[in-house]
Structure 1
Amino acid sequence: MAYRVVFLGEGRVGKTSLIMKYVKNVFTEKQESTTEAQNFEQRVKVDDSFVPLDIWDTAGQERYHSLGPIYYREAKGAILVYDITDIDSFVKVKKWVKELHAMVGTNIAIAICGNKIDREREKVVDLSEAEAYAASVGATHFTTSAKTGKGVQEAFTYVAREIKKRDKTGRNFSAGSGTGLKVGTRDEPKPSGSGCPC
């Protein structure tokens, strides 16, 4: 059984793009906003074994926020994403962390990704501040780019390694192939109101 890992963050920060870069090594400049949860099963190589992850991509728009707990209630890991060119998206990460800890406790493995590092000239979030915040909540900070692939592998490997380290079930991790990939889609309950999901 795979460990659930949820991606959290505001809309348009690049959550889906990071996942697509990792599981399929593709990047789409005009990635559509996520309006229904999608999950990807991937085995991540950690040292000499593979850790099975069930990676959940969720919608980040405000009107979908209340649906978050449905998906991360049983999570063992989380990757929180913000856009380095958008200070508000970093502030919102702090709210996601509090909600996550309240729902699943503090033993969850968390990586915080400052995404779109390929646009560093437009950066408005201070890296040292972001790293200090991550450390203060028991997380590790990564700078990532779904476009170039920078930091993507490292973030996933970190979360898988932390989950493996914290696992108390005594399960054996397969040393077999890590190429398996299953993709699924889950219909999210529709939020109240109407309008563009973008």
Structure 2
Amino acid sequence: MGILLVYDVTDERSFNNIENWYKNVEHYASEGVNKILIGNKCDIEASRAVTRESGQKLADELGIKFLETSAKSNTNVDEAFFTLARDIKERLLDSAEHPDQAAGSGGAGGAGNGKIDINDTQKSFSQGLGCC
């Protein structure tokens, strides 16, 4: 239902591979799947190889959202997943309200009744329960 395209801000090769990953997602994933571009390791400024501006520019070109994160310092990690979850929820609600405009198989298929309570998800994360 959602895909995070992640690159390492200290490794330009990982950033350069994003467009190939994006093409694979467009080719193999369900139509309309939500995507977000993530630049990880933003806490390591000394060896940064990819600027925030370059990440944002690529995200703009691909038409997807962008965040920089640090798994090590837990910077924006929750925000990345919550942003993606909110976008999925919005898409599901929109396709439920306008089923004739739903994008191919990217609709609410496999989501049961299509209802996601983002507040329950945030509560679970804040209590350390995780998602899976």
Query: What letter matches 1:108 in structure 2?
Result: V
Cα shift at 1:182: 6.5
Question: What residue number does 2:37 align with?
Answer: 112
Given that 1:145 and 1:152 are in contact with CA atoms closer than 8 Å, whether structure 2 keeps it comes out as yes
RMSD: 2.1
Separation in 2, partners of 1:95, 1:103: 12
Query: What letter matches 1:171 in structure 2?
Result: G
Question: What residue number does 1:146 align with?
Answer: 71
* Equivalent residues, number: 108
Separation in 1, partners of 2:118, 2:69: 28
Cα shift at 1:118: 1.2
Question: What residue number does 2:2 align with?
Answer: 77
Separation in 2, partners of 1:136, 1:118: 25
What are the within-5 Å matches in structure 2 for residues 52-91 of structure 1?
76-91=1-16
The verdict on how the C-alpha distance between 1:130 and 1:118 changes in structure 2, with shifts beyond 3 A counting, is: same
Cα shift at 1:110: 1.1
Separation in 2, partners of 1:92, 1:86: 10
Residue of 130, 136, 146 corresponding to 2:55: 130
The verdict on how the C-alpha distance between 1:136 and 1:106 changes in structure 2, with shifts beyond 3 A counting, is: farther
The verdict on how the C-alpha distance between 1:93 and 1:155 changes in structure 2, with shifts beyond 3 A counting, is: same
Question: What residue number does 1:121 align with?
Answer: 46
Cα shift at 1:160: 0.4
Separation in 1, partners of 2:63, 2:15: 17
Residue of 23, 46, 49 corresponding to 1:98: 23
- SS of 1:82's partner is strand
Query: What letter matches 1:137 in structure 2?
Result: L
Cα shift at 1:172: 3.0
Given that 1:110 and 1:138 are in contact with CA atoms closer than 8 Å, whether structure 2 keeps it comes out as no
TM-score, with length taken from structure 1: 0.49
Deviation sequence 1:15-35 (CA, Å, 0-9, x none): xxxxxxxxxxxxxxxxxxxxx
Runs of 4 or more consecutive aligned structure 1 residues displaced over 2 Å after TM superposition? 168-183
Larger helix share, 1 or 2: 2
Larger strand share, 1 or 2: 1
User: Is 1:172 the equivalent of 2:115?
Assistant: yes
Question: What residue number does 1:15 align with?
Answer: none
Identity of aligned residues (%): 30
